[in-house]
Chain A
Amino acid sequence: MAVFDTPQEAFGILRPVCVQLTKVQTTENVERLQAQLQTVSDSALQELQEYVLFPLRFTLKTPGPKRESLVQSVVQCITSILSTTCVKKQDLLQELFSELCLCLSSPSGLQPPAPLSEELKLTVIQALHVLMHSAYGDIILTLYQPSTLPHLGFAISLLLALAEQEKAKQIKLAALKCLQVLILQCDCQEHHRLLDTVETRQCGNLFASFLPGISIALSRVITGDIKQGHMVTVSAIRLFYQTACLVIADEQLATITQDEEKPSVEQSRLSELVIHRGPDWVKSTAGKLSLLIHKIVEFASLHPHWKVRMELVELVYHLMLKCSQSLVESVGHLLKALVGLVNDESNEVQSKCREILRSIAERRTVAENRALADVLSENLHSLATALPRLMNSQDDQGKFSTLSLLLGSLKLLGPKVNIVLNSAAHLQRLSKALMQVLELDVADVKIVEERRWGPEDSLGEPLGSLQHGKGQKKYFRFFIDERIFLLIQQVCRVLGYYGNLYLLVDHFMGLYNESVVYRKQAAMVLNELITGAAGLGVDVLHERETAVSTEDLKGTITSILEEYTDQANWYLTTSIDTEGTSDELTVKHSRVHALPRGAHSSSLISSSSPSSDPSPTIRSMNSNIWQICIQLEGVGCFAYVLGKEFRLLLASVLYPVLEKAGDSTLLISQTATGTMLDVCHACGYDSVQNLINANSDYLVNGISLNLRRVAHQPHASRVLEAMLRHSGASLLPLVEDVIRDVLSALDQFYDDRASSFLGVLSTLVAALVQWFVVVKGKEHPQEQQSSTSSQKQGKGSVITPMVQEVEQFFLGYIKQTQIAEGNLPAMEEEEEEVQAPPPEPEMNDTGAEGETPLPAHAQIAKDVMERCIHLLSDKSLRVRLKVLDVLEFCVIVLHLHENHLLPMAHRAWPALVTRLINDDPLAVLRAFKVLCTLAEKCGDFLRRRFSKDVLPKLAGSLVTQAPVSARAGPVYSHTLAFKLQLAVLQGLGSLCEKLDLGESDLNKVADACLIYLSAKQPVKLQEAARSVFLHLMCVDPDATWLLLNEICCPLPYEPPHPSLQPVKLGGMGRQRTEFTDNVLGLLGELQRRETAAFQAGPQEAPEPQPPSLTEALG
């Protein structure tokens, strides 16, 4: 299609259509004009703009009713003209503006907008939009004169009405968009003329008149039906803040002076419309706006669509940026929105919020604006006041946002938080709120119930290595969500970060001491405060000016720790069955009185009274457990905060923590173990073991001091146990000192504290075995005996057995060669020879050699053994059992020092025998084990005593029990009697061998055990009995062979010559009996051994069968 570039050509084309339209105003004509317009170039059209517009405007202005379609096409045509041209005359602009507005108004002019079709409305709005954009240069400003105020007002009210009342989303959006253009805040791509400050101020003045209308209408739009779509809400919000920023921006208001002359307007009615934005006006407007903002914030922050929430964030941002002074009253609401949205579920919103918060904080709007700080602190106060109530009533989500708000306010206040804290009332509110919120749920019975069993696992392997800051999962009364706890944690840390540490610590320490109700929470808060003060794990908006110095931190931490580990706060009743609870409590009570510390004392006594309640309830014990755990976690926190500096505090802290690591309540011991790990990492030790080793001097100090107090002895012994378990032989010199203390304490309280000390003693001797016996044995497996030769004291005693060995070897060798040569010595002689050595040790026993000084560890073992002898006859079975354990270890430690062991064994014997023959089966069992060890270490020293005191009884009981076990059912193997039988049978064999028993005793043993070879006996007993015989075979193979053959003889022994009498053995030709299987098995084994020995070295081994045969026959 041809384009007419010159105005002349264009005029030629357009003239007829325009004339036609002027004459006959129909839609067709308008459309024709529209069509012609397409053929005209933009520049030509610009020249002819007014000409072309005339018929159209004429059409609109023609009085009388018009068809809507006509109006619509006319307006469309105008729009298309305007969109390609610009309006250069201000008259034209104003006229067009009002003509277009009139299109929408109802004829009566009172009830806008007219009930027109939606299409028309939309067209007109778009036309207005285009008109505003087509205004050329400064012309647009002519619309914003006081004189045009009514027009403008009319347009705005029209558009607002449309935005508010129309159903169609498109119209709403278009109206809002148009409004945006009207207030000169169009955000479209086109270039807009930027206003200078004076012009901005003028516009501001002008729009001040509309602000109430716009803001109210918009707030209605915003809070309208959610179904209107998020776009509408978003643009309404945008428009709202843009308008507000235009009118009450701080910058503008600052330039408005009181005496500023009113715009010179001739018409008095107009001058009434113009508003002077003086302070009074600002104040009242801000008050009204504040209400609206509050409404908007409430609504929008819960809007389901994230874009709305995002726009809300923008609103906050702009208002905070531009109007933070004028809108001071609303700042609270604004921040609330912002802070609440920091944890929004949409990431975009979150990050935007964070960014804005940071920028607000960075610009120090808060820090420099006293009024704002006041508002914030007032906010904080009311929030703190409401917090407990909210915590009670809200759901977790609500609690979460409430706390977010609290946290946000604190963060924004930053260093100004001290203004709040310095006010006693505020601090009181805040702290009480925290106390209530953090209240723990202590109804759980399980915590008290769960006990730690077995001391072994205490520190060795970290139980699921607790990481710092994790701690035990706590159960709170008012919330479940873990995120809420994290928020509170942050609140405390932020407080610690910005706040005056001394003030805070002092205050919360006061609460800690004030009542047992607050104690746990206060401790929790204190832990977090310190962490925050060190700047660890705290998320803040801006850096504080001065960090707390390490020295200050250390001082604070030291005083907190002192309080934590104070008797009244550290030794709490956590279970009913603790041994000696009663006297512990009484002691504690008296300590409290003995340690009155000025004003402090009264609270101490009153606060400790619940714990010293004679019958602690589950609840109170549970609470105590938690308190200890929290304090332990605190120790971990503090270590984390101080790092290596914490090493200095170990002197006072390590002992109490280790003490708790051995606590019998599972939760406490776990927490303490975690704390140990934390401390270990913080102080730069590789392992808990290293930590203990490197600081054993501190521990020893603690142990020794605590041993002096009856009530703390069990704790002290627990710590010593833990220490022993984790350190090496190098510790011995240090420990030695304490062991003396332990032993003397034991001597003092042997009747009622024995069991707790025995724990230590058993750990001690077990450690000694580990350090001095097992380790040495491993290092020099073959030199085990000579290892002590390095210790000059042991020399004499060790060499004797070696000499004896060598001697015996040669004696044996000579004998064997003689046998090989057929020179058989008489049986009696041999026996005598074997029996010859035993008297010697007994001589030694009485001799003066026992006086030789011992190495330290052996001396300790000896001292311990001495106590054990006395305690062997304790009235409590548990103690007796424990003593037997300890005794066994002592024997093992001492076995290298026979000169000391034998006298001790001699002294221990009577008591041990009583245990063996006249005690509870459990004790018998244990005592028998000790006996086996003792026999192994002392050897034939015990032979006579054994055969005289013990063997008859043992054999007797075996014989009497045999029919019982033979008859018994499968359950029998779970009974104590069975275990006892089994143990005796298992141990008896090696005992015979070790003690080198005489023939008659061996016969006794064999007789007693023979019954157990019966197939009727439980399998295990049969096995054990077989083992006895296997041992007997070693001691005396021939007698054993004969005995077995008496029962059952598998082979006929044909005499080699008929002149010899036939061999008759008791078992020959017997029917298969209950014993047959076992006996045959044993005989087979015997045969195998003998042949093996024969083949290995016929000259060394005794002749297998013939001699026994001869003996049997003889």
Chain B
Amino acid sequence: MALPPPDPQFVLRGTSAEVHTLHFYCGGQEPDYPILFSGSSNGLIHVWNLKTRRVNTILDGHGGKSVYWVEAIYGRDRLLSQGRNQKICLWDLAEGRNTVTDSVFTENVGFCKCSLLKVAQGHWLMAMPGKDLDEVQVLELPSKTSVCTLKPEADAKPGMPMCLKLWQPDFGSCPFLLAGYEDGSVILWNLSGGKILSRLACHQEPVMSLDFDSEKMKGVSGSSEEVLTVWSLDEQQNLKVQKTHKLVNAGIADVAIRQDKKILATAGWDHRIRIFGWKNLKPLAILDYHTATVHCVSFSDHSRPSERLLAAGSKDHRISIWSIYNPTSGALHCPLETRKPD
């Protein structure tokens, strides 16, 4: 029996431009409301109050050029945003301010989103595309000193980095970087040595996005072709393809694994958001709401699992918010669902 597809919990409108990136901040305690940051193609960053579902503030700091990465830092008071005007801005949002306090100039003109990793209290590492086309630079924040520059050897020719993911294993202190490249390969970098640990050619087309689960030591990547690939990292730091999933329509713009490592969401060029069980890549649901390409998906980090949300930003100027596969909502609202993912 064909069951009706689930609906978004609500839809945020008013960006009046394509939405390229989303970032939740739900860490605050009660009087603080959960926040969603959205960056859109007209260079504006909207700060949404998820309680009232309305825009709280609009930040304009990228000269009308599209914003394609935002992430909160220092709680909700600071925000990093990366725009097409080759600038990464640090915003001060405390006490209702909205000023750019610092910025980094990136010499890269690509679309590669930065990646941020907290290494210690008050210290972060930020990976960003470097000056040369195939180069990735890692900065230490807040000092902005360059930690290392990761450049593949001349004969490797993986092309431009397309997506980055910094991570740190639970036991070791040494952070790693996973980068997806234009030629469809995913490379694992060791930051301390600046060396390639492993390279996996898992796609024919450029890797559009990837996400990594440092508990299970496996990650997922999507490209412009109709394949979703799950790969794992073994003890010897080798990347291996674990599973691939064939999609009907080509093009995955974004992938995101939920914090509890139970489900995976993908943003499709075919206007659809797909939900998979992370354990075995079982397709769980297809969320069909948008009328144009979905650019990004993001899971909220709300402390109460029942209030965790999924947000998707699309070319149709809308941000859809979904409440899906939450523990308290019990059984699932999904067409493909047969049992709860564990």
Residues of A within 8 A of B (CB): 587, 590-591, 593-598, 647-648, 651, 697-698, 700-701, 704-705, 708-709, 733-734, 737, 744
Contact = CB atoms under 8 A, between A and B. Distances in A.
A596 B3 contact: no
A701 B53 contact: yes
Given A595-B333, A596-B331, A587 B4 contact: yes
Q: Is the interface of B mostly helix, strand, loop or mixed?
A: loop
A594 B11 contact: no
A705 B290 CA distance: 11
Contacts of B14: 697, 734
B330 A598 contact: yes
B289 interface: yes
Given A594-B333, A648-B51, A705 B11 contact: yes
Given A591-B4, A651-B10, A698 B53 contact: yes
Given A595-B333, A598-B330, A648-B51, A701 B3 contact: no
Interface in B120-152: none
Nearest to B30: A551
A669 to B, nearest CB: 26
A358 B112 CA distance: 74
14 contacts: A590-B1, A590-B3, A590-B4, A594-B4, A594-B333, A597-B329, A598-B331, A648-B51, A648-B52, A651-B53, A700-B13, A701-B53, A705-B7, A744-B291
B157 interface: no
**List of 8 A-B pairs having minimum Cβ-Cβ separation, nearest first:** A598-B330, A594-B3, A705-B7, A701-B10, A701-B11, A596-B331, A651-B53, A597-B330
Contacts of A733: 16
B109 to A, nearest CB: 31
Contacts of B13: 697, 700-701, 734, 737
A705 B321 CA distance: 12
A587 B4 CA distance: 9
Nearest to A704: B11
A697 B289 contact: no
B195 interface: no
- Residue from A647, A705, A744 whose CB has the most chain B CB atoms within 10 Å: A705
Interface string B1-35: 10110011011011010000000000000000000
Contacts of B291: 744
A647 B4 CA distance: 31
B313 to A, nearest CB: 15
B53 A709 contact: no
Nearest to B3: A594
B244 to A, nearest CB: 31
Contacts of A734: 13-14
A698 B51 CA distance: 12
A278 B52 CA distance: 69
B54 A697 contact: yes
Nearest to A709: B4
Contacts of B11: 701, 704-705
A651 B51 CA distance: 9
A705 B333 contact: no
Contacts of B10: 651, 701, 705
Contact of B7 (A597, A697, A700, A708): A708
Contacts of A648: 51-52
A597 B331 contact: yes
A806 B208 CA distance: 62
Q: Is the interface of A mostly helix, strand, loop or mixed?
A: helix
Nearest to B13: A737
Nearest to A591: B4
A296 B14 CA distance: 75
Nearest to B16: A733
Contacts of B318: 737
A118 B331 CA distance: 91
A666 to B, nearest CB: 31
A535 B330 CA distance: 35
A210 B282 CA distance: 91
Given A597-B329, A705-B8, A697 B3 contact: no
A705 B318 CA distance: 13
Nearest to A551: B30
B201 to A, nearest CB: 41
B324 to A, nearest CB: 13
A479 B228 CA distance: 68
A590 B5 CA distance: 12
Nearest to A601: B331
Interface string B292-318: 000000000000000000000000011
Contacts of A697: 13-14, 53-54
Nearest to B11: A701
Contacts of A700: 13
Interface string B78-94: 00000000000000000
A2 B237 CA distance: 138
Nearest to B337: A594
A597 to B, nearest CB: 6
A95 B170 CA distance: 108
A1042 B222 CA distance: 85
A733 B54 CA distance: 16
Contacts of A597: 329-331
A587 B53 CA distance: 29
A733 B291 CA distance: 18
A734 B14 CA distance: 8
Contacts of B8: 705
A374 to B, nearest CB: 39
A352 B331 CA distance: 59
Nearest to A740: B291
B333 A708 contact: no
Contacts of B331: 596-598
Nearest to A650: B52
A104 B289 CA distance: 103
A82 B318 CA distance: 105
Given A651-B52, A704-B11, A744-B291, 6 more contacts: A590-B3, A596-B331, A651-B53, A697-B54, A698-B53, A705-B8
B154 to A, nearest CB: 51
A705 B3 CA distance: 17
Interface in B203-262: none
- Residue from A594, A595, A705 whose CB has the most chain B CB atoms within 10 Å: A594
A1013 to B, nearest CB: 60
Interface string B41-74: 0000000000111100000000000000000000
B3 A708 contact: no
A704 B333 CA distance: 19
B104 to A, nearest CB: 35
B301 to A, nearest CB: 22
Contacts of A705: 7-8, 10-11
Given A587-B4, A701-B11, A708 B52 contact: no
A655 to B, nearest CB: 10
A700 B10 CA distance: 10
A10 B122 CA distance: 116
A587 B1 CA distance: 12
Contacts of A593: 3
A741 to B, nearest CB: 9
A953 B270 CA distance: 53
Nearest to A698: B53
A708 B1 CA distance: 19
Contacts of A708: 7, 289
Nearest to B334: A594
A733 B317 CA distance: 12
Nearest to B317: A737
Contacts of A587: 4
A73 B316 CA distance: 116
Nearest to A647: B52
A590 B333 CA distance: 12
Contacts of B51: 648
Interface in B260-306: 289, 291
A596 to B, nearest CB: 5
A734 B289 CA distance: 18
Nearest to A651: B53
A931 B318 CA distance: 40
